[in-house]
Amino acid sequence: MLICGIDVGSVQTKAVIIDGNRVVQGRGITHSGPNLPRAAGHALDEALREAECEEWDITFIMSSGYGRFNIPFSHDHVTETVCHARGAVYRYPATRTVLDIGGQDTTAIKLDPNGNVLDFCMNDKCAAGTGRLLESIAELLNLKISEIGEIGMSGSRDISVTNICSVLAEQEVINHIERGVAVEDILGAIFRALARRAVSLLRRIGIEEEITITGGVSANKGLVKAIEHRLGLKINSGVDGVYVGALGAALLGLQRTRG
């Protein structure tokens, strides 16, 4: 038995294939773009190649993410909050709090000892404090998004960025550049500003250890370090955090097939 979870995010679409023993067999990722069914198909194709199987070998496909209603070949759909909770607990079984930082949304999720969602809080008013901001800052600094985490960790000057709205934060960054502030110090300030926003969301639901960060931003070591510093706690993170939502969808799909 093979089950696929597809997480259609605002920036990236991810697919994860698991077997009946909940072991990951394949993963795929692509930019979402304007054609969500096509993006989901591309991510699925990549996961199928890694799993060395064909689409007809898949028993069940569960979709999630903001584009979950637009995937014609999925069998069912589920909210990304539940998927990130389930995927985080699979990766780190003692997880009690999840921080999902995606391209457009940041969500703090509180779990019970069985991994069920007790409460959650989302910055649903705008994309401030999300991956979109990091992308725009990276572009402004002429850097790759994959580079900024390490660079920002080497900053030594304690400057501030007071806004996390993309437009206002970009203006502050431009002002710092004009004053000759080093790139690593600018990025450090951005990470601290995002950490303040993230921890504020976490405190609204009540922070309980362990804490796991998911979403594409979870691979950014500089931001993770800034959040840990503000919390005074170690948090679970990793480069595969971008797949946690799709993994959770696959796990829920497997559960659905077993009744």
CATH number at residue 3: 3.30.420.40
Residue carrying structure tokens 């550049």: 177
Domain assignment of residue 154, given as a range: 94-235
User: What is the predicted pLDDT for the residue at 169?
Assistant: 81
> Which uninterrupted H or E stretch holds 247?
helix 244-257
* Number of structural domains in the chain: 2
Dist CA 228 CA 153 (whole Å) = 13
10 Å Cβ neighbour count for 44?
A: 24
End-to-end CA distance of the chain, in Å? 14
Same domain, 107 and 219: yes
- Dist CA 184 CA 203 (whole Å): 28
Same domain for 16 and 86? yes
The pLDDT value given to residue 132: 81
pLDDT at 102: 85
CA-to-CA distance for 186 and 211, rounded, in angstroms?
Answer: 27
Q: Report CA-CA distances (Å) from 195 to 27, 73, 170, 192.
A: 29, 38, 17, 5
pLDDT for the residue numbered 128 = 59
- pTM of the predicted model, to two decimals? 0.92
Per-residue confidence (pLDDT) for residue 259, from 0 to 100: 74
Q: Are residues 118 and 10 in the same domain?
A: no
Indicate if 132 and 46 belong to the same structural domain.
no
Residue with tokens 């691979």: 219
| Among candidate residues 143, 145, 83, 75, the one with its CA nearest the CA of residue 116 | 83
Same domain, 135 and 14: no
**Judgement on whether residues 210 and 144 belong to the same structural domain of the protein:** yes
> Residues 182, 251: one domain?
no
Task: Read off the DSSP letter of residue 236.
Answer: B
Q: In angstroms, rounded to a whole number, what is the distance separating the alpha carbons of residues 70 and 54?
A: 22
Tokens of 172: 């502050």
Q: Are residues 179 and 200 in the same domain?
A: yes
Q: Which residues on neighbouring strands pair with residue 244, listed in sequence order?
A: none
- Distance, in Å, from the CA atom of 62 to the CA atom of 73, rounded to the nearest integer, reads 9
Residue in 214, 175, 243 with CA at minimum distance from that of residue 15: 243
Q: Are residues 122 and 108 in the same domain?
A: yes
Both 143 and 39 in one domain: the answer is no
Residues 123 and 219 in one domain: yes
Both 176 and 128 in one domain: the answer is yes
Q: Running along the chain, 259 residues long, what does each successive block of 10 average in pLDDT? A: 95 96 98 95 98 96 94 95 96 96 90 92 69 87 92 84 75 90 93 91 94 93 95 92 97 93
Tens digit of pLDDT for each residue in 2-49? 999 999 998 899 999 999 999 999 999 999 999 999 999 999 999 999
